[in-house]
Structure 1
Amino acid sequence: MGKHFSHLTPTQRTQIDAFRRAGMKVVDIAKEVGVHYTTIYRELKRCTYEHLNSDYTTEIRYNPDGAQARYEANLRAKGPELKIGNDYELADYLIGKIRDEKYSPEAAIGEAEVMGWPFRVHICASTAYNYIRGEIFGDDLTVEMLPQHGKRRRKPERPEGAIPRKPAGKSIEKRPEIVNTRTTFGHWEMDSLESGKGYKRTWLMLTERKTRREIIVSMKDKTSESVVRALNGIERKLGALFPRIFLSITCDNGTEFSDAEGIENKRRGKGKRTTVYYCHPYTPSERGTNENQNGLIRRLVPKGTDLGTLSPQEVKAAEAWLNSYPRKMFGFLCSEQLFREELALILAR
């Protein structure tokens, strides 16, 4: 995702007014202005009013000047002691990153630090959280817009009477200890992200344990054949690099991962391309990296979404969002940067 201020400027508000008067649709206005269409919907909902014409008829109008004044007043309303003061660029940045790009306040602040903090006022993540809870940004940025906003994912429980499925291949207990340290590049976790009930389209989610680099492949269904086909597609792109980048893959005992031989063996010719290890039943913590990534991606595609409605470009955009997300564990650098560094080392050998 690009580093830009996503909140509406006075110029953009004037453009919205002109395009709306010209009869343009909201989606088309959003494209012209350069923001997401939901931003336009929210803006019009907040800042339209009923106007009385000279012939006593009424019409709904949008007030761009009033909208901007209201936004700036929100920042001034808490008094001169407010640290953010009138640094509207910082406010725009936070609103854009947290509301529109689905960042946490900590990630937004961390990325700004990596950028060299291009704002007049300096605040920390806890201050940003307090501003949001204190409704400093009004309707532009609320607690409900925060990732998870207090919700916690429940730990899955074994269904009553369920019999654990026998691993299709090597148990995680046989996985080399070096993999646990995350000091060696090329060890991946694999999971599937399902569509809502009644839909078949599934995403294969592959996470590299050291860099947290993600690969997402859209599959027509949640079957072992589709998983092997997806891995074959990745091997086709990487060629001889595949065995050097995919030293191992760890997954759960889902039926979609039951073809251990198909996962491990090269798509053409003889020989292995990787080694697959299977977690203990009902132990997602053994794929903790994968689970965290899935939680992040749900900010973009909430549970219940029919993944089949998303275009290949949207799937790639979701993958790019994950890989460009600032990571606290890496000093708020992103996975894509670290992955490219590791790849450069492999190519230099």
Structure 2
Amino acid sequence: MQHYYTPKRRHLTLAERRMIERWLQEGFSNREIARRLAKAPQTIHNEVKRGQVRQQVRKGKFEIIYSADFAQEAYQNNRKHSVKQASLTKELKEKILHYIKQKYSPEMMVKAKGIPVSVSTIYYWIHHGHLGLTKDDMLYPRKEKTKKKQASPNFKPAGKSIEERPKSINQRENVGDVEIDTVIQTRAKNECLLTLTDRKSRYQIIRLIPDKSASSVNQALKMILREYQINSITADNGPEFSRLADVFDPENIYYAHPYSSWERGTNENHNRLIRRWLPKGSKTATQQQVAFIENWINNYPKKILGYKSPKEFLQTG
């Protein structure tokens, strides 16, 4: 006796539907097609029945035939309506709004905080106005693309190039290899934030400094080095980092290529978390605010860490 099977969750593909269409035109039976595709005959019978269309073969003459494209479209439409839509209760809405106020992304609400709906459902509710939010409430409102800048062909980095960075740092093998940056609040020459992000644990250090100058950066870095073990620093080529060698071993300082922020992607992504609390244009920030944001980031679960926070990762590995 022939055994046919249809693996669980193994739906027919468009390629298989086109084979069914061709084999039907060649005169093969549903049972033979099922054997060739290793499917149950009933599966092929149902598929052929659902995929039938009325096609004109000549004037006044029509035939009912199986169409792979029509069957695929019908399948996709049915899949869209096959999942029961989650209902937005008052309690669930209050929970989601609570975490939005806490600057949690929909993914973290679901994965780390146990909100019992899908990530896409939360985004759907946000974008369709079910939560009463506006564009200003979004964590990262979309902006127009800017023209990519190009570095001068005569450019020389302030120290060792990132290309010389050891494999152990590139592969995030050890805690203590950090990326450094500054986060300005306004275009005016006033206080800004100095940020250091550990490449392995994603632990973030934030300090409020008087201005975006090399002397202010170095003064803050001196204080940080008294508290934290730092093995290497990866910086951009801004003038504020041109004198890092005055306070840190130049053999362990690496400079990214100009206009290549992705080479310090860990730091850049964590700076975006800061913007959840201090959007661009924020005129002032207090030491208390900075300490709160630093603590919030270091207790914020990260997908890359298995939904542990940086603090939990450092404590448990």
Measured after TM superposition, the shift of residue 250 of structure 1 is: 0.3
Runs of 4+ with >6 A deviation: none
8 Å contact from structure 1 (residues 193, 205) kept in 2: yes
Cα RMSD over matched residues? 2.4
Q: For 2:143 and 2:303, locate their aligned partners in 1 and report how far apart those are by CA, in whole Å.
A: 20
Equivalent residue, structure 1, for 2:9: none
Pick from 319, 323, 326 the counterpart of residue 301 of structure 2. 326
Residue type at the aligned position of 1:289: T
Q: For 2:139 and 2:237, locate their aligned partners in 1 and report how far apart those are by CA, in whole Å.
A: 29
Equivalent residue, structure 2, for 1:232: 222
Measured after TM superposition, the shift of residue 247 of structure 1 is: 1.1
Measured after TM superposition, the shift of residue 90 of structure 1 is: 2.5
Equivalent residue, structure 2, for 1:315: 290
| Structure 1 residue 248 corresponds to structure 2 residue 249 | no
Pick from 86, 91, 94 the counterpart of residue 83 of structure 1. 86
Measured after TM superposition, the shift of residue 82 of structure 1 is: 5.4
Measured after TM superposition, the shift of residue 229 of structure 1 is: 0.7
Pick from 244, 248, 256 the counterpart of residue 264 of structure 1. 248
Q: For 2:210 and 2:188, locate their aligned partners in 1 and report how far apart those are by CA, in whole Å.
A: 13
Q: Counterparts of 1:70-219 in structure 2 under 5 Å?
A: 83-84=86-87, 86=89, 88-98=90-100, 100-113=101-114, 122-137=116-131, 139=132, 141-142=133-134, 144-151=136-143, 157-158=149-150, 162=152, 165-219=155-209
| Structure 1 residue 288 corresponds to structure 2 residue 265 | yes
C-alpha distance 247-151 of structure 1, shift in aligned 2 (>3 A): same
**Which runs of no fewer than 5 residues in structure 2 stay unpaired?**
1-83
Q: Counterparts of 1:14-25 in structure 2 under 5 Å?
A: none
**Which runs of no fewer than 5 residues in structure 1 stay unpaired?**
1-80, 266-271, 343-349
Residue type at the aligned position of 1:303: K
Measured after TM superposition, the shift of residue 142 of structure 1 is: 4.3
Q: For 1:130 and 1:157, locate their aligned partners in 2 and report how far apart those are by CA, in whole Å.
A: 35
Q: Equivalent pairs: percent with the same residue? A: 37
8 Å contact from structure 2 (residues 179, 233) kept in 1: yes
Measured after TM superposition, the shift of residue 218 of structure 1 is: 0.8
In the superposition, the TM-score normalised over structure 1's length comes to 0.61
SS in structure 1 at match of 2:158: coil
SS in structure 2 at match of 1:298: helix
Equivalent residue, structure 2, for 1:278: 255
Bigger Cα Rg:
2
In the superposition, the TM-score normalised over structure 2's length comes to 0.67
